[in-house]
Amino acid sequence: ETGVTQTPRHLVMGMTNKKSLKCEQHLGHNAMYWYKQSAKKPLELMFVYSLEERVENNSVPSRFSPECPNSSHLFLHLHTLQPEDSALYLCASSPGQFSYEQYFGPGTRLTVT
Amino acid sequence: KQEVTQIPAALSVPEGENLVLNCSFTDSAIYNLQWFRQDPGKGLTSLLLIQSSQREQTSGRLNASLDKSSGRSTLYIAASQPGDSATYLCAVKESGSSNTGKLIFGQGTTLQVKP
């Protein structure tokens, strides 16, 4: 088990629902990341936070809204999603943005119906 | 634009064999390269991290090499075991002032080791 936890592990939601994914890291890291892993596609970065400031938004639609209230917690708020948003959402953290190893959580398997 | 390619996409070998997984990247301006393992439906486990100034890293039966100038890395697995069956992902962290240190992933090699 890594020092990065994610809840829930599985989520099924309708297109009109609002839900949130939670990530928590117990490693004292300063950078946190959201990645999306869709079937048959490489893992792709969504957002990067460094010292609670968003430093990267990788052209993600506004129906995904990240929040980083402190350096240990990262949220991904979801609303009005589409079926193609169904994927495994992975959170990661690292000591700093550059040059350091990233540690991943177990992911949230999201299904949009 | 950095692109990462992994060959082969899938590999099936008998137990005990030594094997090599390949990763190539198009832009040699990287901070580091990281190899991960992913079991079905699970998150990623970091296996080895090679900094851009290093040539290789070893951990147990795993050895990863990096040739930055040619844009290549290999992951060598010695004496493979059925428990090594998983998808192996290669990712590079770009350098340069315009980036935020994000990882660029390949699509992975799915390995099956048969008893």
Confidence at residue A108, expressed as pLDDT on a 0 to 100 scale? 96
Q: A103 contacts in B (CB within 8 Å)?
A: 46
Confidence at residue A2, expressed as pLDDT on a 0 to 100 scale? 54
Taking residues A67-77, report their average pLDDT: 95
Phi-psi region of A55 (alpha: psi -120 to 50; beta: other; left: phi over 0): alpha
CA distance B97 to B86: 35
* pLDDT tens, position by position, A16-56: 889 999 999 999 999 999 999 998 788 999 999 988 888 87
Taking residues B16-32, report their average pLDDT: 94
| B11: pLDDT strictly greater than 80 | yes
Confidence at residue B97, expressed as pLDDT on a 0 to 100 scale? 53
Confidence at residue B78, expressed as pLDDT on a 0 to 100 scale? 97
Residues B21 and B109 sit within 8 Å (Cβ to Cβ): yes
| B26, two tokens | 């198009």
Residues A22 and A89 sit within 8 Å (Cβ to Cβ): no
**B107/A42 Cβ within 8 A:** yes
* pLDDT tens, position by position, B33-51: 999 999 987 889 999 999 9
Q: Mean of the per-residue pLDDT values for chain A?
A: 91
Residue A91, CA distances (Å) to A16, A22, A23, A24 in order: 24, 9, 6, 9
Q: What is the DSSP string of B3-71?
A: -EEEE-SEEEEETT--EEEEEEES---EEEEEEEEE-TTS-EEEEEEEETT-SEEEETTEEEEEETTTT
| A70: pLDDT strictly greater than 80 | yes
Mutate to test the interface with A, among B42, B102, B110 (most CBs of A within 10 A): B102
How close A87 comes to chain B (CA, Å)? 10
Confidence at residue A1, expressed as pLDDT on a 0 to 100 scale? 47
* pLDDT tens, position by position, A86-95: 999 999 999 9
